Amino acid sequence: MQRADMFDKVLLFLIGLIMYGLFSGNNMEVVPAIISVIAIGLATYFENSKVNITILIIYLGLGYLIPPLLYFMPTLLYTVYEKEYSFLILFAYLPFCFESTHKADLLVFIFFFGILAVWQKHRMIDLYRLKKTHYELQDNKRKLERDSDLQRKILLEKQDEETHNATLNERNRIAREIHDNVGHQLSSAILQLGALRIVDSESKPLITLEKTLNLAMDNIRQSVHNLYDTSIDLYLQLKMLTESFEFCEIVLDYNVEEIYNSQIKYAIIAIVKEALSNIIKHSNATRVDVSMIEHPAFYQLIIHDNGSKLCIGDTDGIG
């Protein structure tokens, strides 16, 4: 946009310079061109409506004293023109309607190229506003697309989390049903079989049946334990613990891919519970940081608070 604006100014100035050279003959002077360049440069630099109008009025006054300045007036009109002050351009032409001392070719040039310059600047302003609106619409479109992608990602993550939680809950339910129903029924059958073995301890079918039932019981017990172990989501458990902690501000930093050992999971959950309980009882902290970090050979659990109160031996605790 700035390049096009500068190109139009240079083109109008060159046209004025050519017209000045054609109609002035051998009396062409450098001073009008220099004054015009200074006026156009000042109007370009300040970009202030009031200042530019003042420059135009002064330039028109000098144009009566130095008529060749008027050859460069279209360039100045192009520079200072704004839609809000378009009526002032008409006042700029008004004195020449009653002026008869200037040459006819100069007056025609001023009117024709001045109107052409104003029309071109008017189009340039409209083009600039259209481009600005276009860029704003593009920015808004990109922002909406980013927001839409972010919302979609959040929804997908939430959906995955809900699906994962539903899967874990279903595993827990199945484990409880197996434990409460099948497990109890097998235990009852094993007890009844034990009573029969007392009556007939040498019966091979009863011995075989007892081994089968014990094996089935071991398999069910192992399956229930496996279901319980895989249904423990360590991150979810720690998140629930931190969200329910209302004593002070708490921040959870969880950086672990997966822990397959259920004993480690239970140990971590128990440690965090005990630590948060001790902070409530024995600390005047205002912030707690819980960090769970996975290293190549071990897991690191850090629980840190900013409390300054140290309470040892003033409670009835056992730890």
What angle separates helix 31-46 from helix 2-24, to the nearest 10 degrees? 160
Give kind and range of the element (H or E) at residue 303: strand 299-305
User: What is the homologous superfamily of the domain 234-305 according to CATH?
Assistant: Histidine kinase-like ATPase, C-terminal domain (3.30.565.10)
Quick: pLDDT tens for 165-216.
676 677 677 777 776 777 777 788 878 777 777 777 777 777 788 778 788 7
Task: Identify the band that residue 272 occupies on the pLDDT scale cut at 50, 70 and 90.
Answer: very high
Q: What is the C-alpha separation between 162 and 3, in angstroms, rounded?
A: 56
How many Cβ atoms from other residues are within 10 Å of residue 98's Cβ? 6
Q: What is the C-alpha separation between 271 and 230, in angstroms, rounded?
A: 20
Instruction: Tell the residue number behind the tokens 């409670």, with chain if given.
Output: 315
Q: What is the C-alpha separation between 112 and 117, in angstroms, rounded?
A: 9
Task: Identify the band that residue 319 occupies on the pLDDT scale cut at 50, 70 and 90.
Answer: very low
Average pLDDT over residues 269-293: 90
* Cα dihedral: 179, 181, 187, 188 (round 10): 160
Q: Break the chain into its structural domains and give their ranges.
A: 2-131, 164-230, 234-305
Q: Are strands 287-294 and 299-305 parallel, antiparallel or unpaired?
A: antiparallel
Quick: pLDDT tens for 91-144.
665 555 545 455 666 667 677 777 777 777 777 778 888 888 888 899 998 998
Let me know: does 84 contact 52? Beta carbons within 8 Å: no
